[in-house]
Amino acid sequence: MPHSTFFGGVHPFDGKDMSKEKPIKTIFPRGDMVYPLKQHIGAPAVPIVKPGDPVLTGQMIARADGDLSASVHATVSGTVIRIGPHLVADGTEQECIVIHNDGRYHEIFYPQTRSLDQLNAATIIESVRDAGVVGMGGAGLPAHIKLETENPRRIDYCIANCVECEPYLTSDYRRMVENPAKVINGLRIEMKIFSRARGILAVDERCGDVSRLFRDLTRDDPRIYVRSLRSKYPQGAERQLIYALTGRTLNATMLPADIGCTVSNVDTLVAINQAVMVHEPLLTRIVTVSGDAAAEPRNFRVRIGMSIRELLERAGGFSQQPALILDGGPMTGTRIDSLDVPVTKLTSAIVALRKDRCGGYHETPCTRCGRCVRACPNHLVPMQLYDDLLKKRDDLFLRHGGLECSGCGCCSYACPSRMQLSYRIYSRRTALIRDPERAGLYARRLSTQ
């Protein structure tokens, strides 16, 4: 039974108006490209080129290592310079392949475009795997894993997550306005595997134009329908999305497939469409450059591997000195401390904020106001969990449901005492989940770290 919304959640400043009207601009980078070997959940890919090798656009340069892994492809043509550690956006050094860009963009040979009726489950999964498609909504689970469920007939709903709840991000919105057919086709491809499923395009209620567009395009398809959901953060989170659409609940020990659903992000669906229909590997993604300090907030189609410095330069730079530069949105993003890091498959936005939008917050003691309890979409009591972790009582932390925390940030957002609830609770949860003895069944979702 659908609800159109969920308990809890917050309404942060939207920030989408500044970048939602302008069309996506494609950028061809000129500088060197850096490809981390791990841009996904699972084992890092293994390089299959060595320094000095010439590469073409679309050529696989690192092969997936095992099933829970994804391959990496060159997004430019040029020569491999070196394979070794390089700084990435989260501040750590990772193994990367660095390629010198010759600017010519010579491509590999692409076989002929397929049609939908030529596909079966095996070809779809193989194409998606070979293209290195990962879940681009932020998690990075290799996409073929979701398609490879043991019993495809158990899936009732293929959900397209078109609710972009993170503030400032409009990449999915522009994608849907400009290329809705690709999104819908990606969903249809998934539904080829899950023959019993119905497809749902879940759209935020404020994007009425997208709903209308989708409805027009799916009018003749009895298997797909469009649902409008109430605008609230984090409506795009997996558990809340499934609940609002189908009324089914999911806890952190379960996977969506356990309750007959799969959830895919808009960018992932388009990547699946490209991979399956035209054999194109994952080469580009849409990145929103936004924020009050950005000179020209808009969306860019960016080649994966491009340096963030070059992206910001081509995007017009900053209109004033930013107080904070983020990889991702302000609710779930991370701070960038160096601009010489690459855009990866999981980079959704670069947000540059002024001081008044992200002011320094001084933590004061908890007043037991209860706003965090009302904000938590997973029905937890964050102040209690915070208390438990301050007292280092892991047993109480587990008993109060700490492992259920999905790290949405609603509690920290709502807290008038500006306590860093979400980050600390989620960090404790991540630490505990790696211990199978205490985590029990929760360790099953270790893959989603």
Partner 1 sequence: MTSTQELTTQLPDRVEYRPGTSRIRPFMRTSYGTDSIMGMMMTALIVIGGGGIFRYGPHALLLCLVSTVSAVAAEAAYSAAAGRGLTIRDYSAAVSGLMLGLILPPAVPVYFAAIGAAGGIILGKCLFGGIGRNLINPAMTGKLILISLFRNAMGDFSSGNFGPISPLMQLTMGNSVSTRDVLTGNVSACIGTGSILLILAASVFLLLSGVITLTIPLSGLVSFTAMMILFGHHGWRPGFLMVELCGGSFLFTLFLMATDYSTSPVTGAGQVLYGVIFGILTAVLRLFFGRTEHAVVISLLLTNLTARFLDQHTMPRPFGQRRPGSRFTVPHPGK
**The two structure tokens encoding residue 430:** 């991540």
Cα–Cα distance for residue pair 225/159, rounded to 1 Å: 10
Q: Residue 30 CB, nearest distance to partner 1 (Å)?
A: 11
Q: Residue 405 CB, nearest distance to partner 1 (Å)?
A: 9
Q: Residue 343 CB, nearest distance to partner 1 (Å)?
A: 15
Q: Residue 72 CB, nearest distance to partner 1 (Å)?
A: 26
DSSP labels for 301-369? EEETT-BHHHHHHHTT-BSS--SEEEES-TTT-EE---S--B--TT--EEEEE-GGGS-----------
Cα–Cα distance for residue pair 298/24, rounded to 1 Å: 7
Strands (E) located in 187-248: 198-204, 224-229
DSSP labels for 130-155? HTT-B-TTTT--BHHHHHT-S-GGG-
Q: Are 109 and 31 within 8 A, CB to CB?
A: no
Cα–Cα distance for residue pair 292/326, rounded to 1 Å: 12
State the alpha helices, DSSP H only, in 279-375: 308-314, 371-375
Q: Residue 433 CB, nearest distance to partner 1 (Å)?
A: 10
Distances (CA, A) of 306 to 101, 204, 223: 10, 31, 39
Q: Residue 35 CB, nearest distance to partner 1 (Å)?
A: 22
Q: Residue 254 CB, nearest distance to partner 1 (Å)?
A: 7
Query: Which amino acid, 355?
Result: K
Q: Residue 352 CB, nearest distance to partner 1 (Å)?
A: 10
Give me the sign of the Cα torsion angle 100, 103, 104, 107: positive
Q: Are 308 and 336 within 8 A, CB to CB?
A: yes
Measured from the CB atom, the residue of 218 and 344 that comes closer to partner 1 is: 344
Measured from the CB atom, the residue of 115 and 321 that comes closer to partner 1 is: 321
State the alpha helices, DSSP H only, in 47-197: 121-130, 143-147, 171-178, 180-193
Measured from the CB atom, the residue of 191 and 287 that comes closer to partner 1 is: 287
Instruction: Give the contacts of 90 (CB within 8 A, at least 6 positions apart).
Output: 327, 334
Q: Are 375 and 8 within 8 A, CB to CB?
A: yes
Measured from the CB atom, the residue of 38 and 239 that comes closer to partner 1 is: 239
Q: Residue 325 CB, nearest distance to partner 1 (Å)?
A: 6
Measured from the CB atom, the residue of 92 and 367 that comes closer to partner 1 is: 367
Cα–Cα distance for residue pair 425/189, rounded to 1 Å: 38
SS3 285: strand
Query: Which amino acid, 131?
Result: A
Measured from the CB atom, the residue of 130 and 296 that comes closer to partner 1 is: 296
Q: Residue 152 CB, nearest distance to partner 1 (Å)?
A: 23
Measured from the CB atom, the residue of 35 and 168 that comes closer to partner 1 is: 168
User: 7: phi > 0 → left, psi -120 to 50 → alpha, else beta; which?
Assistant: beta
Measured from the CB atom, the residue of 43 and 396 that comes closer to partner 1 is: 396
Q: Residue 193 CB, nearest distance to partner 1 (Å)?
A: 25
Measured from the CB atom, the residue of 193 and 403 that comes closer to partner 1 is: 403
Question: What residues does 201 pair with on adjacent strands?
Answer: 160, 226
SS3 116: helix
Measured from the CB atom, the residue of 250 and 275 that comes closer to partner 1 is: 250
CA 193 to chain centroid = 22
Burial of 365 (0-12, 13-18, 19+ CB in 10 A): exposed
